[in-house]
Amino acid sequence: MENKVIIIGAGPAGLSAAITLAEKNIGVVVIDEYLYAGGRLLGQLYEETPNKWWNGIAESERLLARAKELNVEFSLQTSVSDLEKMDQDWVVHTNKGVFHTKQLLLATGAAESPFPIPGWTLPGVMSVGAAQVMTNVHRVKPGERGIIIGVNVLSSAIAMELQIADVQVAAITLPAANLLTIDSSDPLDVMNSLLHVSHMAPSLLIKIGSKFMKNEFLKKLGITFYPKDGVKMWGIPIMLRKAVIEIVGKEQVEGVVLATVNVDGSIVPGSEKRIDVDFVCIAGGLYPLAELASLAGCPFHYIEQLGGFVPLHNEQMETNLAGLHVAGNITGIEGAKVALAQGKVAALSIASKLGASVTQLDIQQAIKNVETTRAHAHIQFHPEVLVGRQKMKKIWAQSLSHTMS
Amino acid sequence: MTERIMSHPILGDLPHKEKVSFTFDDQLYEAYKGESLAAALLAQGIRTLRVHEETSHPRGIYCNIGHCFECRVNINGLDGERACITPVAEGMVVKSGKVLPTTVRDWRKHHGK
Ligand SMILES: Cc1cc2nc3c(=O)[nH]c(=O)nc-3n(C[C@H](O)[C@H](O)[C@H](O)COP(=O)(O)OP(=O)(O)OC[C@H]3O[C@@H](n4cnc5c(N)ncnc54)[C@H](O)[C@@H]3O)c2cc1C
Ligand code: FES
């Protein structure tokens, strides 16, 4: 078929878009550089409600099977390195040749920010997502015993996943304060964000603590009296008053140096202590992986609540460039279910442009579904994602009034 | 030394997969067909995939999903391939990334550093 819709990214957003388009009899090619389809959904594994597990591998396989049933084509192990517009076509440059399309969907997901701590280039240091994929997808232990640097939703979830796989996590702790770790090394800021994972924590202390600490003053008190060795979540000490100041080892990771930190994040001199680990996970948070949108020429806006710089887009998942759509984490950091719902919106707005039977009502309903999914999300990466979404909506409206005037 | 997770309380037993062999720096290794080269090497305790091209400091995987390019190796003669997104195949010849010749070694001297 001529000029199929091309989707870059076989994560939940890309897969759900592909399925929706194919269900409308529209030809689709999904390009992804990874070994398997599924994107970051592949590594996900957590208990949503007692005894009900969200198994990302099973979900990915189910989506892939459905897409194949509908004759969606896949080009895996295919890295996209450039995009350009020629006449009416988007030209997609990859290591497996050049693809052309009139309607392109970018669903490239998110990437992880590191903390540049001394020793972080040693083999054995990896992003927390790397450990997730090693453990749950490849079924290889990242090591015997590790430490996680960075206290946030993703690191807490992955700590538990490691523990289920019988990989020891010595502690989850803060990075040492430096220019690049500002928000992540201040115990108070971290405590604030930690309150948002409290619903996942069976530890009574954190549960009670989170209600108790909503008040600023009490929170400060909480930090001050926060036990130096941390409170335990799933048996793993979460240390808000300790920071890893150095990762040590000759040829690979052998340990880390932990120090006690004051309430403002500064280090207590003489408190340094070495502990032995054979791997270190860095959890610096996620940001939208949007380079391709940038190459395509999309305007970008920095919206902290969405995780960083995001391409200008509207609720229908259109960018301001003809034939270019975006969906999933590239538009803001949220969980897989929101990405799935966004993929559907993008697909419906593409399908309507291609003359398929899609009504405005269908699109509006799909948008509503994104909102309800968001409201019920189990994992929320940023507590104020709604504020971020509103900001983007406003910027879009302003950009329209500019083009009209 | 690391190991494979043969049985997992939620994901179940490791599915049976075909075995293949490949070489890494002329040593013969076994792997499961289709798994990533990075996973296959880590499962045998190998963490160092290359050295920094100038300083020779050891490097391994960082992101494990193709974003950071830390895991660059030479695969069947091709330089700069990412071990974390390349599936192992029978007879694959892999070489770790090496120090590159630097013709102007002492540039610092001439730049007052
Ligand atoms: C390391 C990591 C771990 C995460 N863990 C969780 C978790 O446990 N729970 C949770 O709810 N959310 C998690 N997330 C958030 C997660 O991104 C969303 O849940 C969801 O997977 C986003 O879906 P997506 O379709 O937007 O993108 P993704 O699932 O990230 O898929 C994007 C796909 O695009 C491909 N791609 C990107 N760039 C290119 C290119 N240039 N060429 C070819 N292919 C490309 C990638 O290979 C990838 O398969 C995680 C995110 C990351 C980065
Ligand atoms: S480990 Fe990052 S690209 Fe392979």
- ipTM score for this prediction: 0.92
Residue A187's region, left for phi above 0, alpha for psi from -120 to 50, else beta, is alpha
Q: How many CB pairs under 8 A join A and B?
A: 107
Query: How far, in Å, CA of B62 to CA of A343, rounded?
Result: 29
Q: Nearest residue on chain B to A282, judged by CA atoms?
A: B62
Helix axes A216-225, A204-212, angle to 10 degrees: 140
Per-residue confidence (pLDDT) for residue A27, from 0 to 100: 98
CA–centroid distance, A128 to ligand 2, in Å, is: 13
Query: How far, in Å, CA of A43 to CA of A164, rounded?
Result: 13
Tell me the pLDDT tens digit for each residue of B23-35. Answer: 999 999 999 999 9
Q: From first to last of its 405 residues, what are the pLDDT tens digits of chain A?
A: 357 999 999 999 999 999 999 999 999 999 999 999 999 999 999 887 778 888 999 999 999 999 999 999 999 999 999 999 999 999 999 999 999 999 999 999 999 999 889 999 999 999 999 999 999 999 999 999 999 998 888 888 899 899 999 999 999 988 877 655 666 767 777 766 666 555 554 444 454 455 555 556 556 655 665 666 666 777 788 887 888 999 999 999 999 999 988 877 788 999 999 999 999 999 999 999 999 999 999 999 999 999 999 999 999 999 999 999 999 999 999 999 999 999 999 999 999 999 999 999 999 999 999 999 999 887 778 878 999 999 999 999 999 887 665
CA distance A124 to chain B (A): 7
Task: Indicate yes or no: CB of B87 within 8 angstroms of CB of A77.
Answer: yes
Ligand 1 lining (C-beta closer than 6 Å): A 8-14, 31-34, 39-41, 44, 79-80, 107-112, 129, 132, 154, 157, 286, 289, 292, 328-329, 335-336, 339, 379; B 66
Q: Which ligand is nearest to the CA of B60?
A: 2
Residue whose structure tokens are 């994104």:
A370
Residue whose structure tokens are 């995987």:
B61
Tell me if chain B has a CB within 8 Å of the CB of A2.
no
Compute chain A's Rg from CA coordinates.
22
Tell me if chain B has a CB within 8 Å of the CB of A188.
no
Residues of A in contact with B85 (CB under 8 A): 33-35, 77
DSSP letter string over A371-400? HHHHHT-S--SSTTHHHHHHHHHHHHHHHH
